[in-house]
Amino acid sequence: MRSMRVDWPVLMRAGLGQLGLRPAEFWALTPAELQMMLGGGERAQPMGRGGLAAMMVAFPDDVVGNGDDR
């Protein structure tokens, strides 16, 4: 599987600079919300099964020792 690479400096410049978001507002957005705010919502495609699987590998929910015992 291919790992997902995020160009954080570009996204942060767009969100904080171009859109004028505060840091807390930027970090509270989902990737889809940020994409829509930047004008890419019309072309956005739903995430496929492969994309979801790659995201689950890159960002697992079941992290041992994170202190969150819900």
pLDDT in tens, 16-58: 999 999 999 999 998 888 888 888 756 556 788 998 899 889 8
pLDDT at position 39 is 84
Amino acid at 23: P
pTM greater than 0.75 (yes/no): no
Helix (H, G, I), strand (E, B) or coil at 55: helix
Looking at residue 67, its pLDDT comes to 60
- The domain spans of the chain are 7-39
For 23-48, letters b (16+ CB in 10 Å) and e give eeeeeebeeeebeeeeeeeeeeeeee
Q: What is the pLDDT of residue 46?
A: 77
